[in-house]
Amino acid sequence: MDPDEVEFLGEKSMIEIVPTFNSAPIYFIGGDVGPFRASIPLRVPLWVAVHLKQQQQCKIIPPDWMDLEKLENLKEEEKSNRSFIKMPSEHYIVEAKLILGCAADDIPRTDEIRTIIKDIWDIRKSKLRSSMDQMIKKSAMYAAVDNLTLMEINSIRPLLPHALEQIYRIKSNKRAILNRTQGSVTTPSNATGSFTN
Amino acid sequence: MLPSSSYQPNYFSIEDILATQERTPCKFLQDVPRMGKLNPSAEEKDLKVGTELELPLWLVLDGAAGRQLILAPELPKIYREAYREILKADATAIDLHKFNLYFYELGSYIKHFDRRGDVHNILLHTFTTRFRLIMDLANNADSDPTIQNKLDTLERRLFKDGHNARMKLNTWLLESGIPLKAASMVDNHRKRKRVNEELV
């Protein structure tokens, strides 16, 4: 998947805005948005929010977690924890990028928030990398990917699945020739297992 | 999305053809009439039993198959004990490209000639230890582009896919007007400090 596709999925998450205009509800395939009353907050999909913000027709209220103190705590927790901790939002990186990108004036201390989110992202990426390496080295059968967000999972594609597939190929690559050199006629399945491990 | 590196050998697979033309030492177990031409060092018309030759793998595979064994294959030198020891010592330091362009592909054919499974194990070992190398390369390839010359064909393809995905992600992270970035102070460190050495 492209990061853009992940972004597209992330744009569906809801966010609170304060519109500066009045409008009847807008009907979309995915659901209705509105009605808009000036300075009455309401929840809309992120993409609507970004769109309105670009036209200067609303103020974006940042999600609860986009707060310096909470993010500091999150970062500390992420640092001290061996596994991944639960992120406040499944698409935190997408939301952060979009909101901070278009509505920097609605959020206090944007620069610091931007930096700290990137730090969290980097910490998680480095954890992800070392656990991938361990998984491959130990030829583990599975790995728990609890609390990984979609963008993070997507960032290890296609490398990890391809590598696992190649390992599988190396492991399972038993050809009929093995049986034939033994001079006996056996089904291919009988040959497997003799070399594995 | 089917991965492009989901590679299964088939009759028309160019890679398979290239991989199976590797010279493989083998010993004839029977006289083969009229095949003396295969042995350039002899003038005879027939191939005698006990002749040792290096033949392309695709020929050896067929000769070593079937009810009547015509020849007994041996391991090419890169899969023999001495080379296996090198791989065991530190697989990441090795220029696999020089070993063989199709180290893994060839290996998966060759390993059937080795009853004890040592070749199989070394293939697995080599791949798993070198994975970190590929992953790190894919993540920061701009640091030294020549280093990918050490990869064999299969690894190179993994590297390319990984690298493309990585580049896409990087562009995505940077493309908004105000990119998400680490603190400039952190960037100014030549090397970023690990957060907690034993954790990450």
Instruction: Confirm whether B13-74 and B77-175 share one CATH topology.
Output: yes
A179-191 pLDDT, tens digit each: 434 433 333 333 3
State the nearest Cα–Cα gap between B41 and chain A, in angstroms: 28
State the nearest Cα–Cα gap between A35 and chain B, in angstroms: 30
Q: Please, which residues have CB within 8 angstroms of residue A171's CB and are 6 or more apart in sequence?
A: A196, B124
A65-109 pLDDT, tens digit each: 888 888 898 898 888 888 888 888 888 888 888 888 888 888 888
Tokens matching residue B165 = 């995905």
Give, rounded to a whole angstrom, the gap between the first and last alpha carbons of chain A. Answer: 34
Q: Is the pLDDT of residue B120 over 50?
A: yes
Tokens matching residue A94 = 């997408």
- Residues of A whose CB is below 8 A from B1: 1
Mean pLDDT computed over B163-184: 73
Q: Which of B64, B129, B139 sits opposite A181 (nearest CB)?
A: B64
Query: Which residue would you say has higher pLDDT here, A42 or A139?
Result: A42
Instruction: Provide the pLDDT confidence category of residue A163 given band limits of 50, 70 and 90.
Output: confident
Query: Which residue would you say has higher pLDDT here, B190 or A29?
Result: A29
Give the pLDDT confidence score for residue A35 in this predicted structure.
87
B44-66 pLDDT, tens digit each: 788 888 888 888 888 888 888 77
Rounded Cα–Cα distance for residues B71 and B49 (Å): 9
Question: What fold does the segment set A3-172 form as a domain?
Answer: Methane Monooxygenase Hydroxylase; Chain G, domain 1 (1.20.58)
> What residue in B sits closest to A140 (Cα-Cα)?
B128
Question: What fold does the segment set B77-175 form as a domain?
Answer: Methane Monooxygenase Hydroxylase; Chain G, domain 1 (1.20.58)
Q: Which of A7, A100, A162 sits opposite B161 (nearest CB)?
A: A162
Q: Is the pLDDT of residue B139 over 70?
A: yes
Q: Which CATH number fits domain B13-74: 3.40.50.10110, 1.20.58.2050, 3.10.20.30, 3.40.50.2300?
A: 1.20.58.2050
Give the pLDDT confidence score for residue A178 in this predicted structure.
44
Mean pLDDT computed over A111-117: 87
State the nearest Cα–Cα gap between A26 and chain B, in angstroms: 27
Instruction: Provide the pLDDT confidence category of residue A157 given band limits of 50, 70 and 90.
Output: confident
- Average pLDDT along chain A: 80
B68-102 pLDDT, tens digit each: 788 888 888 888 888 888 888 888 888 888 888 88
B122 sits in which H/E element: helix B118-139
Give the pLDDT confidence score for residue B65 in this predicted structure.
77
Give the pLDDT confidence score for residue B5 in this predicted structure.
45
Q: Is the pLDDT of residue A60 over 80?
A: yes
A34, A42 Cβ separation under 8 angstroms: yes
Sorted by where each begins, the domain ranges of chain B are: 13-74, 77-175
- Residues of B whose CB is below 8 A from A136: 128, 131-132
Q: Is the pLDDT of residue B142 over 80?
A: no
Interface predicted TM-score (ipTM): 0.76
Tokens 């974006």 belong to A60
Q: Which of A1, A3, A82 sits opposite B199 (nearest CB)?
A: A82
- Residues of B whose CB is below 8 A from A171: 124
DSSP letter (8 states) at residue A193? T
Give the pLDDT confidence score for residue B200 in this predicted structure.
43
Q: Is the pLDDT of residue A177 over 60?
A: no
Sorted by where each begins, the domain ranges of chain A are: 3-172
Give the pLDDT confidence score for residue A186 in this predicted structure.
34
B15-26 pLDDT, tens digit each: 888 888 888 888
